[in-house]
Amino acid sequence: MKELINNHWIFVITEYSNYNSGLKETLEELNREHKWKIGLRTQNKQQLKKNDKSIFYVSGNDRMYFAASAVLNSNFINERDPIYGYVRLRNLCFFDKPVFTKPILGNLDFIKNKKHWGLHFQRGIVKISKRDYDKIIYESST
């Protein structure tokens, strides 16, 4: 029997990522509803599968850190909404302390261009390796 391989993702949160909600409201809604809205034009959305693992990254001028993790509890769902679909989440865990990007940049393989590393977070969903996922999770607990 073939073992299922789960993907690992970064979901990027910006002030406008949840369709005009502020950052605080976006995180509160995430915590309350355990689902993540995804724009219909967002790349990689169809690759999202139940049991994949995700990390939430907060971007912006004064914010550049990993804030939470979750396991996807659904594939991508679109219920005929013209703007967005979503994935359901389980095991949502907000990190006790943010994991800032700059101190761990050198240890993250998915960031190829260390000088212009912010470019790697300009998409709503970023696929990463299990190794990078594990590094970020480790940093969240130290």
Give residue 61's domain range: 8-140
In a domain, 1, yes or no: no
pLDDT, tens digit (0-9, with 9 covering 90-100), for 47-75: 999 999 999 998 877 778 999 999 999 99
Question: Using 50, 70 and 90 to split pLDDT, how confident is the model at 117?
Answer: confident
Q: Tell me, yes or no, whether 35 lies in a domain.
A: yes
* Of 53, 60, 139, nearest in space to 91 by CA: 53
pLDDT at 26: 77
Mean pLDDT of 117-131: 86
* CATH, residue 37: 3.10.590.10
Q: What confidence score (pLDDT) does residue 20 get? A: 47
Residue of 59, 77, 41, 75 whose CA lies nearest to 118: 59
Residue 118 located in a structural domain? yes
Residue 51 lies in a domain: yes
With DSSP H G I counted as helix, E B as strand and the rest as coil, what are the percentages for the chain, rounded to 5? 25, 35, 40
Q: What is the rounded average pLDDT of the residues 95-123?
A: 86
Tokens 């607990």 appear where?
141
Average pLDDT of the segment spanning 74-96: 92
- Amino acid, single-letter form, for residue 27: L
Please check the confidence at residue 24 and state whether its pLDDT lies above 80: no
Alpha-carbon span 107 to 131, nearest angstrom: 10
Residue 55 lies in a domain: yes
**Selected residue with higher pLDDT from 17 and 66:** 66
Q: Tell whether 3 is covered by a domain.
A: no
Residue 42 has pLDDT above 60, yes or no: yes
2 is a domain residue: no
* CB neighbour class for 1 (10 Å; exposed up to 12, middle 13-18, buried from 19): exposed
Number of domains in the chain: 1
* pLDDT tier, 82 (very low <50, low <70, confident <90, very high otherwise): confident
Query: Average per-residue pLDDT in the chain?
Result: 87
Report the predicted TM-score, pTM, of the whole model to 2 decimal places: 0.87
Q: Identify the CA nearest to 63 among candidates 107, 37, 102.
A: 102
- Top-confidence residue, 17 or 28: 28
Q: What is the DSSP string of 92-126?
A: EEEEEEEEEHHHHGGG-TT---STTGGGGGSSSEE
Give the Cα-Cα-Cα angle 128, 48, 81 (nearest 5 degrees).
135
pLDDT over threshold 90, residue 2 = no
